Amino acid sequence: MTLPSMASARLPAEGASRRNLALLAALFGALVIAPWVVNDYLITVLILILYLAYTGQAWNIMMGFAGQLSLGHALYAGLGAYIAAVLFKQFGIAPWLGFLAALPVAAAAGAIIGFLAFRFGVAGVYFAILTIAFAEFARIGFDHLSVVNASAGLFLPVTQHGYNDLWNLRGGPTMFYYVILAATMLAFILCRGLLNSRIGYFWLAIREDEQAARAAGIDTFRYKMYAVMISAAVTSFAGVFYAFYYNNLFPEQVFSISRSIEMILGPIIGGVGTLFGPILGAFVLTGLAETLNSAMVAFGVDLPGAKQVLYGICLLLVVMALPSGIWPWLSRRLGLTDGSR
């Protein structure tokens, strides 16, 4: 199962990695000072962008690096969201500790799906369907689970005090902004480290040609399991963030397939298998949606569904023009890399 074209070679041209670092530092710097410069509306947009950049990177570990297509990543985010939310609401356990509880559960869920698929040769499209099935099981199961208030939804108490309580993740948008910014940066560092290590090379080999990877001595079952488990564990934090940022959880929304699709659009538009692609894709997608919104308001257009149609057309054009994503093309144009990261 491969998307049209994935990351190309890794070796950056001479000097490119330094320019790359400069770009990264500039982007990071701009994002750090953003809350002092932009208004509240833009902060909420940036939170959404960074949330999608984070989940896109997590999904990219599995698909972009190891070549295993998951269409059910909402499962791992949903598990993170519900576990942290229930622990907080019922026992007053802080979300950071809740995340530590959610992480192994999400990884175990990934391991179960991975084991079933990889042991019994479920691959490609069939693997993708299996991942959807498990997210659907969770949706239906949680809809009937009284400890999470079933389909009536789980609500976190919203505090009124004026300060930011980082330990309990109770506070204003700026606090949430810095939390997700830090998480996105950490995910980037993690992905970069993985891609440049032994495990990353083995994943790329599996993605490129599993039979040839085995012939080179790689235990492909084991390394595919690592990919699913790491990707699931990283994704679970996004759920914890989601729960405490939005304060309400409905199985119907949390585990819905549209949540999973939302996570994978960024990397696909930005560049599957690249390090910057998921981040760039999140900016482009959310930016596009918000621009369309404001444009339609400005021109006084009030056609229900028109925004979605325009959005769809824009995505279609990007995918047709740049099937391997925007980042490989952009980085070549900018002379940053040969398009691999």
Partner 1 sequence: MTALLSLERVSKRFRGLVAVDGVSFEVPEGALFAVIGPNGAGKTTLFNMIAGAMTPDAGTITFAGAPIGGLTPDMVCRRGLARTFQLVRPFPALSVEDNVIIGGLLRRRDVAAAREHAQALLRRLDLFDKRRQLASSLTLPDRKRLEVARALATEPRLLLLDEVMAGLRPTETDRMVAILRTLNRENGLTILLIEHVMRAVMALASRVMVLDHGVMIAEGTPETVVRDPAVVQSYLGAEVA
Using CB under 8 A, list all residues that contact partner 1: 5-11, 196-198, 201-202, 204-205, 208-209, 211-220
Minimum distance of partner 1 from residue 266's CB (angstroms)? 21
Minimum distance of partner 1 from residue 200's CB (angstroms)? 9
Choice between 10 and 332, CB closer to partner 1: 10
Could you tell me the end-to-end alpha-carbon distance of the chain, in angstroms, rounded to an integer?
21
Minimum distance of partner 1 from residue 65's CB (angstroms)? 12
Q: How far apart are CA 271 and CA 339, in angstroms?
A: 9
Cα dihedral 50, 178, 148, 154 in deg (nearest 10): -90
Here the tokens at position 317 are 């054009």
**Whole-Å CA distances, 259 to 255, 263, 311:** 7, 7, 17
Minimum distance of partner 1 from residue 127's CB (angstroms)? 20
Choice between 5 and 168, CB closer to partner 1: 5
Choice between 196 and 291, CB closer to partner 1: 196
Choice between 8 and 168, CB closer to partner 1: 8
Minimum distance of partner 1 from residue 189's CB (angstroms)? 17
Choice between 112 and 215, CB closer to partner 1: 215
Q: How far apart are CA 46 and CA 38, in angstroms?
A: 10
Here the tokens at position 240 are 């914890």
Minimum distance of partner 1 from residue 2's CB (angstroms)? 9
Please check whether residue 252 is in contact with residue 142, taking contact to mean a CB–CB distance below 8 angstroms: no
Please check whether residue 275 is in contact with residue 341, taking contact to mean a CB–CB distance below 8 angstroms: yes
Choice between 85 and 194, CB closer to partner 1: 194
Strands (E), the chain: 154-155, 248-249
